[in-house]
Amino acid sequence: MDRIEQLRKFIAVKPDDPFPRYALALELKSKGDAAAAAAELLDLLARKPDYLAAYLQLGMLLASLQRAEEARETLQRGQQVARLQGNGHTLSELTQALESLPSQ
């Protein structure tokens, strides 16, 4: 059984557990399937909007898919979550990613 299949089984058992879905998104990204990875992260954030790590990954994936406005909105939402959680390190990463997006 490959890693993607294994992660999908974990998700089927516990669909609201964010980590297997996050890991699946990273695995899909590493296999070159940015669209599927983004879809997994969108689903993860719909279920668990405070899962901070997903915002940076999703923002970068959306940018790579030429969806700059969605990437910008995602990174900005991530900044809000980082502020609420008091996570300055991730806030800094999100801000850097936001600043690296092409201007509108």
Give the closest residue to 73 by CA, choosing from 62, 82, 84.
62
**pLDDT over 90 at 102, yes or no:** no
Condensed to tens digits (0 to 9), the pLDDT of residues 33-85 reads: 999 999 999 999 999 999 999 999 999 999 999 999 999 999 999 999 999 99
CATH superfamily of 3-100: Tetratricopeptide repeat domain (1.25.40.10)
Read off the pLDDT of each residue in 5-14 and give the average, rounded to a whole number: 95
**pLDDT over 80 at 1, yes or no:** no
Read off the pLDDT of each residue in 13-42 and give the average, rounded to a whole number: 96
| Orientation angle between helical segments 34-47 and 18-30, nearest 10 degrees | 170
**pLDDT over 80 at 103, yes or no:** no
41 touches 58 (CB < 8 A): yes
In the chain, where the domains are located: 3-100
CA distance 61 to 50: 19
